[in-house]
Structure formats: C-alpha cells, structure tokens
Structure 1
Amino acid sequence: MYLTLLNGTGFVFNVDDYMELRSKYRIMGAPVGTANTKGWSPNQSTLPVELTKYETQLVLDENIAMLVDKSQDLRAKPTAEKLEEFKADFESRLLGQKETLKDEKLRETERYMEKILTGKRKKLLKQGKHEMAEALTAEDVLKEMSENFKFDRQNALVEVPCEHLKDHSAQIVSRALVDTNSLKYRIFKDLWKRGKFVTSGDAFGADFLVYPGDPLIYHASHIIIVHEKPVIKPLELVAKVRLSVIVNKSCVFAYEKENEGIHYQTVAWCNPSK
C-alpha cells in the first residue's frame, strides 16, 4: 500500500486501501474530495482521504504502508508521446459516452414505439402522405433515430479520477513527518496500540478524540488532553472538564512520569446537588 505525500502528510487515493486502513487498522483520516460541482461539503466528501501527520507516521512505523513523493514526475512537462496517448485515451472515453447515450436513446425509443409510430403516421397523413404512413415501421423509426443522433461534446461528462490514470514514477519518502519521540505522538501511538479509534481533537479543544468503535457508528467517548508534565493548573482543569461535560464526553489527561511511562487520568465533573 502506498500513501501519496501532499502538503506534508499522507493522502489515500485508492478506495480499497482506504477501507483496509479504516476497517483493519482503525486509521480514520478525513475525506477531502468532492463530487459536488457547487463546492465542497463535509457531508458529501469523497476520496482522496487526508491522514493526519500522526496517522501517517504511525502507518509508516507499523510497516502498514509506504509514503511516496510523486511531485517530481507529475510536475514534469509531458512528452509528445504522452500527450498523444492522453488525447487518444480522452477521445476513447468520449466515444464510450457517445455510444452509451445512443444505445439508451434507442432503447427509450423502443419502449415508446407504439406512441411514436402513431404520432409519426398522423403527421404523415396530415401531409397527405398516405402510402408513407402505411409503410412506416418500427425499423424505420430506429434507423432514423440512429442516423440523426448527435452527441454534444460540450455536455459530455469529464471524469475526475481519484487515482492517476497512468503509471508514473515516485520517490520513497524515508524521513519522519513528526518527532517520533514527542509525547503527543507516543500517546497517539499508545492509544492506537490499545485498540482505540483515535482522531484529531482540534474541533473539541483537545489533542485527540477516542471512540468506542468506528466513528461512522459511534460518537467519541473521551477527549484526550496531552500534558508534558504531570501538573495541571486549576483553571485549566476546570475549563477542560467543563468543556467535556458540554460535549458529553469524558475528560482524560495524558502525561508521562519519569521512569513510569505514560499515565491517563480521567476527571469527571461532580455535582453535589444530584
């Protein structure tokens, strides 16, 4: 499996790769493409999928995928041979649309053949062409439809493929995208190794969100706040816990104690009046 390096992080362009990352490895990412011509909408987002830097680094560390940089090849000026190949491929797709539309028009004509024949015969009779009206058959109608069919290229559908249509070279990226020794990355990796579904918590004023299952089915159950030191200021403690209550999630402070590793401290808001 290959991730494409864009804007400093990994992108997934293949739907099978994305489904494997999501279902097998609990790597969520965020679809950032759109099929809506009026603009991007988070509810209508499609491939490609953008992974966070932490997700990308984790996938690399666990040898789940490799990161490649395609910018050098994709930015190179195409050769005359490649241009001709692209034009031929483009024309082939337009021809396929033309034939498909023509076949559908003929099938639609066959479905309403009786009404069409009746209408054409009446028109011929009004023009005084009685013999032509009597001789008119379904084959004549289909032949006329086929000969007069026109395909307006301006209304053709232009494909916007996720994956590049042609093979091209890429360079393997071996450098780390984040500091793998940083506490935040190690906590993200630790939560993932515990079998959790972990995503970015920026929208909730946290570092991470933890889900009991796939985020398509479940809401996040915990917000994770990363602290470099096991010391929390009272005002920050109150603010973060109140925030977790508002969004109906448990608040977890993650920190590291010397020689003891990573610790998780869950804090709940207590209402003595209840």
Structure 2
Amino acid sequence: MDSQPDLPIPISYVSGRYLLFSIDAVTYLRREHNICGVLIGTLPQIPQQNVFLGLPLELMPEEARLLVDKGVACIVDETKAHDSMNTLLEEDRRRYLRDLEAQGLHASRLHADRKEQQKEQALKNRINDKNANPKAKAAAGAAAQTPEDALSTPSKKDDAAVVDLFAAEDPSTPSRDASSTPTPSQNAMGITPATSYPPLSIPPSSSHLPAPVVPPSYPLFAHLHSRGYFLSPGLRFGCQYTAYPGDPLRFHSHFLVVSYDWDENIDLMDLIVGGRLGTGVKKGFLIGGAEKTLDDVESEADRVDSVRTFSLEWAGM
C-alpha cells in the first residue's frame, strides 16, 4: 500500500539546492503531483554510479516553488533543522530507538523463517537424491522407506550434515549457550535508517524559509503543469524544459519548451532551429509566455492564468 507522508513535506535547502531525502515523499510527489526531479545520490564504490543514481532527489526551483504555492511542501534550512536535534527530548529518542529495534526484530524473524525453509528444502533434496540412486534402492530392499517416511524420520547422519550446513550464524551475532535465553535486543538486526525524518519533526511555519526565487519561465512551467504535463530539465535537448504527457517512465516527451517574455523580440533563426530540432527528435517545439497586465503588482497566479503557448513543427515539402 502506498504511504502518504505528512503534509507539508519539508524540502531541505542545502547550499542553494532543494533536496528530498525521503523515498515516501519522492514517490508521493511523483504519483500525486507530477513532480519527478532528478536523482543525484551516488555510491563511491559503484562504477555505474552515473547511470544508477539514488536519493537525494534534487528539485528545480520551479518545482519547489510550485509545491510551496500549492501548500504541499515547505522549505527548511537543513543546517538549522539538524542543530535543533540537540534539543530532542530523551523520551522521543527512546521511542525512536524502540521503533528501530522493532524493525530489526521483524527482519530477524523473516531471516529465521527463510533459513528454516532452506533447511527443509535441503532435507527433501537429499532424500530425493537417495531414492533416485539405483544402488541405494537395491540396498534398501523391500523395506525401503518412502520419501514421506524418510522426511519424517531422517537419519542422524543426514540430519547432522544439514544442521551443520545451516548452523553458521551471522558473525555479528554473539554466541549463546543453550541454557541462556536471548533477549529481543540480541536477536534484532541492526537497522540503518535511510533518512533523518523521523525523528526530525516538521518545523513550525514560523521557521520556514520563503518561497524559492524562480526564473521568468515559471509561469509557463506552472501553466503546463496545471495541464497535467510532467516537466523535466531540457538541457540535453537545448531547451528549458521537456514536457511529457504522463510519467516519463511510460511516455516519451511531446514538446521541447522555451519561455519568452510577452513583448520580447524573437529571432526568426531561433524559431527555425527549434522547430527543426524538435522535428528531428520527434517532438514539437513549444514557446510561450505570460501576458503582462497594466498593474505593476501582479500575483504569480494571475501570470499563470494569462499564459499563451504556440507549437511549431518543421514540415517537409
């Protein structure tokens, strides 16, 4: 079942970047709000790290601003948030440790069940191999046991061999005597959380950072997003954004998007180059911008509502 994180989702502001460290938040925003972002996490010992990236997820300022305007997320100064952990109450810390221990116990039970299933399967395989051997059948004679009987009463030699095979415990697990009773903490596997939320709680609204500063192309970005498009950076296609009609894992992009001011002069060569490039990669070349009003002060919502777009395609004669 998909889990929904608590709202607003804290977006970590680190060195001028907007990052998400929670996989629940990443999947929720992609599923419900068409926000993909870019994975930038790497592991030093993975040679394919430039192909297989992981958390954190970096958001464009436009994506972060859109989520803040919709009330879905808030911007948090990561340095100040971690400094506040020094004031974490002792009871909160103990509750957090108990939760990690419960997760470790659950993982230990799953591991023990899997080992037991492997042991039973190994016994069955040995019995089947013995019965399939003609010499073993001749030696057994008419009094040979059936596979079911042999499974229910395995020989001590076979049983000892299988037990020895699965007797090796995890090196990190301390040795225990038969008379000693293990405690839950001894059986629990060590759990390393992938994110610092929890125990960090959502900071109060008074400590939120202001909405991100966005480029002039934000109205066009928000306009296309409101029409259901998924937008990602368009650097590899020489544009500002690439627009997908659905999740990029399922669809190819339909448009190369470039924003212009309402009264900006557009070089005709830019239109030709954009149209030819878009047609060459089987996409449309989309330009657009927000209409300027007579009011000196206008809200971002008004600018988004006044956006107009045009698409160009290069047609052969």
Fold similarity call, TM over 0.5: yes
Cα 1:137–1:30 change in 2 (3 A) is same
How far off is 1:46 after superposition? 3.8
Q: Which residue of structure 1 lines up, in the alignment, with residue 224 of structure 2? A: 191
CA distance in 2, matches of 1:76, 1:174: 16
- The aligned amino acid for 2:232 is T
Percentage of pairs with the same residue: 22
| Aligned counterparts, 1:119-134, within 5 A | none
* Structure 2 partner of 1:17: 25
Q: State which drifts further: 85-94 or 54-63.
A: 85-94
Gaps of 5+ in 2: 1-6, 131-153, 174-188, 295-305
Deviations 1:73-128 (A, max 9, x none): 5368979x899999999899888777765654454333223739x8xxxxxxxxxx
Does residue 237 (structure 1) correspond to residue 268 (structure 2)? The answer is no
Paired residues of 1:106 and 1:142 also in contact (CA < 8 A): no
Write out aligned runs for 1:26-65 (5 A): 26-33=34-41, 38-39=46-47, 41=49, 44-65=52-73
Residues 195-204 or 217-226, more deviating: 195-204
Distance 1:193 1:48, change over 3 A: same
Quote the Cα distance in structure 2 between the aligned partners of 1:241 and 1:29: 26
Secondary structure at 2:72's aligned position in 1? coil
Q: Is the CA contact 1:53–1:177 (under 8 Å) kept in the aligned structure 2?
A: yes
CA spacing shift, 1:169–1:98, aligned 2, 3 Å = closer
How big is the shift at 1:58? 0.5
Partner of 2:119: 109
Distance 1:177 1:103, change over 3 A: same
Aligned partner of 1:177 among 204, 209, 212: 212
Where do 1:183-222 residues align within 5 Å? Answer: 183-222=216-255
Q: So what's the TM-score if we normalise by structure 1?
A: 0.70
* 1:111-156 Cα deviation digits (max 9, x unpaired): 223739x8xxxxxxxxxxxxxxx9836765676667x5342249xx
In structure 2, relative to structure 1, the CA distance for the partners of 1:170 and 1:3 (3 Å cut) is: closer
**CA 1:158–1:31 in 2, change beyond 3 Å: closer, same or farther?**
farther
Q: TM (normalized to structure 2)?
A: 0.61
- Cα separation, 2, equivalents of 1:143 and 1:50: 50
Residue in 1 that maps onto 2:314: 269
Q: Residue type matched to 1:3 in 2?
A: P
Counterpart for residue 136 of structure 1: 156
SS at match of 1:112: helix
Give the structure 1 partner of residue 288 of structure 2. Answer: 254
Shift of 1:57: 0.7
Shift of residue 177, structure 1, vs aligned partner = 1.6
Deviation at 1:249, TM superposition (A): 0.8
Match of 2:170 among 151, 166, 170: 151
Provide, for residues 12-50 of structure 1, a one-character-per-residue CA deviation record: whole Å limited to 9, x for no partner.
Answer: 333333333222222222233468952454654444332
Give the aligned CA root-mean-square deviation in angstroms: 4.1
**Offset from partner CA, 1:131-186 (integer Å, 9 cap, x none):** xxx9836765676667x5342249xx98664322751356443312214xx53112
1:55 Cα deviation after fit: 0.3
Deviates more, 1:203-212 or 1:192-201: 192-201
> Using the alignment, how far apart are the partners of 2:251 and 2:155 within structure 1?
67
CA–CA separation in structure 2 for the residues paired with 1:38 and 1:166: 28
Shift of 1:236: 1.9
Q: Number of matched residues?
A: 251
Query: Structure 1: how far apart are the matches of 2:232 and 2:226?
Result: 14
State the AA in 1 paired with 2:156.
L
Q: Quick one: which amino acid aligns to residue 242 of structure 1? A: R
Contact 1:54 1:188 survives alignment (8 Å): yes
Aligned residue for 1:10, secondary structure, equals: strand
2:315 counterpart letter in structure 1 = C
Distance in 2 between the 1:62 and 1:247 partners?
A: 34
Q: Could you say if the C-alpha distance between residues 136 and 194 of structure 1 is closer, same or farther in structure 2, counting changes exceeding 3 Å?
A: closer
2:224 is the alignment partner of 1:224: no
2: CA distance, partners of 1:140 / 1:189: 68
Unpaired stretches in structure 1, ≥5 consecutive residues: 119-133
